[in-house]
Chains A and B, each alone.
Chain A
Amino acid sequence: MTRRRLLSGALAAFLAGAGAWSLAAGPKEKVVKIAARKFTYAPNIVTLKKGVPVVLEFTSGDVVMGFNAPDLNIRADIIPGQTARLRFTPDKAGSFVYLCDIFCGDGHERMTGKIRVVA
């Protein structure tokens, strides 16, 4: 009786552990590094998968920049010397423009990129 209880407890603990492991392993979060510099983003085309969580990590090599993808409703300030992180899960497929929305000089208007979300 006691042994049976012990065994069932061990089994329950194993299953609970397996469940936790399985949740943690879920869709793996993708990390994409984007470097901003007058007047470019590198890379300026980012491909993501719909439904897969992603962390966009931004750095700036010179001045304060803004990352804004208005149709995905995500934006971040990019401060030189710091890493800005945006965590989100693309929920629609398509091609979405992003731009610098903090004026950074002659060439600011050309500082754009594209996020492609594939199904």
Chain B
Amino acid sequence: MIDRRSFLRIAGVGGVVFASRLARGADPYATSQDEFFFVQLSDTHWGFQGAANPDALVTLPKAIAAVNALDPQPDFIVFTGDLTHTTDDPAERRKRLGGFKEIISRLKNQKIRLMPGEHDGSLDRSEAFKEFFGATHYTFDHKGVHFIALDNVSDPAARIGDEQLAWLKSDLERQKADARIVVLTHRPLFPLFPAWDWATRDGDRAIELLMPHRNVTVFYGHIHQEHHFKTAHIEHHAAKSLIFPLPVAGSQPKRVPLAWDPAQPYRGLGFRRVEAEAQPVKYKISEMPVVKV
């Protein structure tokens, strides 16, 4: 058996670069692993109108164009929730989901994985989301990595819930202790800043289930900014938004969007590419701007 290091390196384009290592693990996928990359977009809030982003109608289309310009193209694209901005009107909600669906149909690569955010799903337990995009939690495997999409928003109280946790437990029992696991979700699973509702009420139960697995990385959204955190050996990486940035947790009294700067439109917005490398096992994460300057 060959031991090798699994590690994860974060590379910011024009920003901070840091590296961190995950636990050592044997290589259970020697024949099936391959290098690939995927793209994470988050918190597009299609339908938002407000001073925080006067270019709301073109921000997502520009991000789609930026993803389409990647050469080579990603293996697949994930959207980690808040695809649309919330509305009390069920018809308007479907109109926004339909609008979002039309825009992402412009992606060159149509291998797309979606999950809801609370703006999409918390007012109707994701009924409309399911009509357009199907299940809100699921798994898939790609080149030796086991992906788990977790839904922590369809319950408006931000719970994953007993049923889904039992499903997660059952799925994880089928994974080896050193399996490479990536969790995709909307809210942070750990209590990042509960005073701003940046938490999942029963996220600790999900983390507890993930703990026996040595190579787990979580990618999520919700907080509209890049953020990196570890709970024991599990890494949690929040993505930027594609509508407006939010302040650093607790840096100001209110959780209100950072003001739009006409001199630097799209500042603080972006998406990320995640490169999974097989030898040695590592991920390289690059933060990408909406528009290159």
Residues in chain A within 8 A of chain B (CB atoms): 64, 66, 68, 70-71, 77, 97, 99, 101-106, 108-110, 112
Complex Cα distance, B177 from A55, in Å, reads 48
Q: Which of B238-279 contact A (CB under 8 A)?
A: 254-256
Chain A residues within an 8 Å CB radius of B153: 103
Known: A64-B156, A104-B156, A109-B255. A99 touches B197 (CB 8 A): yes
User: When A and B form their complex, what is the total count of cross-chain residue pairs whose Cβ atoms lie within 8 Å?
Assistant: 43
Q: Main SS of chain A's interface residues?
A: mixed
Say yes or no: A105 contacts B123, CB within 8 Å: yes
Known: A66-B157, A71-B195. A103 touches B254 (CB 8 A): no
Say which one of B71-79, B83-91, B167-175, B209-217 lies at the interface with A. B83-91
Say yes or no: A99 contacts B196, CB within 8 Å: yes
Say yes or no: B194 contacts A103, CB within 8 Å: no
Chain B residues within an 8 Å CB radius of A70: 191, 194-195
Say yes or no: B158 contacts A103, CB within 8 Å: yes
Complex Cα distance, B158 from A108, in Å, reads 13
* CB 8 Å contact bits of B109-124 with A (1 = contact, 0 = none): 0000000001000110
Complex Cα distance, B158 from A104, in Å, reads 12
* CB 8 Å contact bits of B15-26 with A (1 = contact, 0 = none): 000000000000
Distance (Å) between the CB of A98 and the closest chain B CB? 8
Offer 16 A-B interface pairs, CB within 8 angstroms, sorted by A: A64-B156, A66-B157, A70-B191, A70-B195, A77-B157, A99-B195, A99-B196, A101-B157, A101-B158, A101-B201, A103-B118, A106-B85, A106-B86, A106-B87, A108-B86, A112-B254
Chain A residues within an 8 Å CB radius of B86: 103, 105-106, 108
Known: A64-B156, A66-B157, A112-B254. A106 touches B88 (CB 8 A): yes
Complex Cα distance, B153 from A103, in Å, reads 9
Complex Cα distance, B81 from A103, in Å, reads 15
CB-CB nearest in chain A for B257: A109
Q: Which of B156, B191, B255, B256 contacts A103 (CB 8 A)?
A: B156
Residues in chain B within 8 A of chain A (CB atoms): 85-88, 118, 122-123, 153, 156-158, 191, 194-197, 201, 254-256
Say yes or no: B156 contacts A97, CB within 8 Å: no
Complex Cα distance, B86 from A104, in Å, reads 10
Instruction: Report which residue of A99, A102, A103, A108 has the largest number of chain B beta carbons within 10 angstroms of its beta carbon.
Output: A103
Chain A residues within an 8 Å CB radius of B157: 66, 77, 101-102
CB-CB nearest in chain B for A114: B253
10 closest A-B pairs by beta carbon, nearest first, are A103-B122, A70-B194, A103-B156, A97-B195, A103-B118, A102-B157, A102-B156, A106-B86, A70-B195, A105-B88
Say yes or no: B123 contacts A101, CB within 8 Å: no
Distance (Å) between the CB of B195 and the closest chain A CB? 5
CB-CB nearest in chain B for A107: B86
Chain B residues within an 8 Å CB radius of A112: 254-255
Say yes or no: A103 contacts B195, CB within 8 Å: no
CB-CB nearest in chain A for B88: A105
Chain B residues within an 8 Å CB radius of A102: 156-158
Chain A residues within an 8 Å CB radius of B191: 70
Distance (Å) between the CB of B15 and the closest chain A CB? 26
CB-CB nearest in chain B for A65: B156
Complex Cα distance, B195 from A103, in Å, reads 14
Chain B residues within an 8 Å CB radius of A105: 86, 88, 123
Complex Cα distance, B155 from A103, in Å, reads 9
Distance (Å) between the CB of B224 and the closest chain A CB? 11
Given contacts A99-B195, A101-B194, A105-B123, 13 further A-B contacts (CB under 8 A): A70-B191, A70-B195, A71-B195, A77-B157, A99-B197, A103-B122, A103-B123, A105-B86, A105-B88, A109-B197, A109-B255, A109-B256, A110-B254
